[in-house]
C-alpha cells in the first residue's frame, strides 16, 4: 500500500478550513481504502461505500499505533457503515469514528468533498472531545506530572 502524495488546493476565502486534493474519484473503489497524507503529517483513511458515500477517518489504529485503517474491512453493523482494523479487528463507525467495541476509543473523522473529478479532504478534522487524539495525548504526556 502506498500513501498518496497530495497537492495543496486553493484555500477557500469563506472558511478557515483548508482542503487538499486526495485523489481522482475514479481511483476510489467501494470498500477499498486509500491512505492520504495531510500537510501536517496526519494520515487519513479515505473510503467510498457501495452507495457512493465518502468517509475519511484517522488511518492510525489507536489500539496498535499502526497506520493501517485504510486497509481495514468495510462493512456495516445494524445499518451503520463500519471499518474493521486489519490488526486486531476492532470495528469503528465510519460516520462518527466511534469504536463499536471500546466505548472510550474513537477515530477522528475528516470532512470530505468532491470538487469536479477530485476528492478533497479537509486539513482539520471534525471537532470532537477526543480523548485518543494523538496531538492532545502528546500535549498531556509532555506536560508530565509533578
Q: How far is the CB of 140 from ligand FES (least distance, A)?
A: 34
Q: Does 126 engage in binding with ligand FES (CB under 6 A)?
A: no
| 80-88: long-range pairs with CB below 8 Å, 24+ | 81/49, 81/53, 81/55, 83/33, 83/45, 83/47, 83/57, 85/61, 87/61, 87/63, 88/61, 88/63, 88/64
Total interface residues for ligand FES by CB under 6 A: 7
Q: Does 15 engage in binding with ligand FES (CB under 6 A)?
A: no
Q: Which of 3, 9, 21, 86 binds ligand FES (CB under 6 A)?
A: 21
CA distance 109 to 111: 7
The interface region with ligand FES, picked from 2-10, 60-68, 77-85, 88-96 by CB under 6 A, is: 2-10
The interface region with ligand FES, picked from 4-12, 46-54, 96-104, 131-139 by CB under 6 A, is: 4-12
Residues 87-116, buried b or exposed e (16+ Cβ, 10 A)?
eeebbbbbeebbbbeeeebbbbbbebeeee
Q: Does 1 engage in binding with ligand FES (CB under 6 A)?
A: no
Q: In this complex, which beta carbon is closest to ligand FES, that of residue 23 or of residue 68?
A: 23
Pairing outcome for strands 34-37 and 3-4:
parallel
Q: Does 37 engage in binding with ligand FES (CB under 6 A)?
A: no
Q: Does 63 engage in binding with ligand FES (CB under 6 A)?
A: no
Q: Which residues bind ligand FES (CB under 6 A)?
A: 4-7, 21, 23-24
Amino acid at each position: 500500500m502506498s500513501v498518496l502524495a497530495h497537492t495543496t488546493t486553493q484555500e477557500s476565502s469563506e472558511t478557515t478550513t483548508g482542503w487538499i486534493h486526495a485523489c481522482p474519484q475514479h481511483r476510489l473503489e467501494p470498500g477499498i481504502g486509500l491512505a492520504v497524507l495531510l500537510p501536517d503529517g496526519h494520515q487519513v483513511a479515505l473510503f467510498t461505500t457501495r452507495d457512493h458515500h465518502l468517509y475519511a477517518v484517522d488511518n492510525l489504529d489507536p489500539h496498535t499505533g499502526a497506520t493501517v485503517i485504510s486497509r481495514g474491512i468495510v462493512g456495516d453493523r445494524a445499518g451503520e457503515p463500519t471499518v474493521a482494523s486489519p490488526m486486531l479487528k476492532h470495528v469503528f463507525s465510519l460516520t462518527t469514528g466511534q469504536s463499536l467495541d471500546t466505548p472510550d476509543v474513537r477515530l477522528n473523522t475528516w470532512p470530505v468533498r468532491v470538487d469536479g473529478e477530485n476528492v478533497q479532504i479537509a486539513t482539520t478534522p471534525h471537532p470532537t472531545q477526543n480523548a485518543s487524539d494523538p496531538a492532545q495525548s502528546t500535549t498531556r504526556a509532555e506536560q508530565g506530572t509533578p
